[in-house]
Amino acid sequence: MITKIKWENVPVEQVTPMMQRQIVHGEKVMIAKMKFKNGFRVPLHSHENEQVTEVQKGTIRFWFGKNKEQQLDIHEGETVVIPGNLPHEALMIGNVEETDTWAPPRKDWLDGTDDYLKK
């Protein structure tokens, strides 16, 4: 089935005072538009899902590896592809607007068990 969606009609979830998101998903892929306030930190975590992150505004500083061996800044207009099961952490530098795409969809985001974000 084909579904046409306008982002303005997708509910905005206020995950924390510093993070909000909108989520659209199909059976095999999920996309989320997010806004973060400066200084928001996504703790070190990993998931089976391949992730593509595109930054529209601000900068996201990523650390990759279980000991955060690699650091990479993704700026406005840049995209990073993160393989599944790779531990990563992120810090928002400036107010950030970005879009994440995952395959398969993030079950923890859909069922509300993504507690690592809400601490």
| pLDDT tens digits for range 32-84 | 999 999 999 999 999 999 999 999 999 999 999 999 999 999 999 999 999 99
Strand partners, 32: 23, 100
Whole-number Cα distances in Å, 50 to 85, 94, 117: 8, 26, 18
List the domains of the chain with CATH numbers: 20-117 (2.60.120.10)
Spatial contact of 94 and 38, defined as CB atoms under 8 Å apart:
yes
pLDDT at 111: 94
| Percent of the chain scoring above 90 in pLDDT | 95
User: Whole-model pTM?
Assistant: 0.94
Tell me the three state secondary structure of residue 109.
Answer: helix
Nearest Cα to Cα of residue 98 among 42, 38, 55: 55
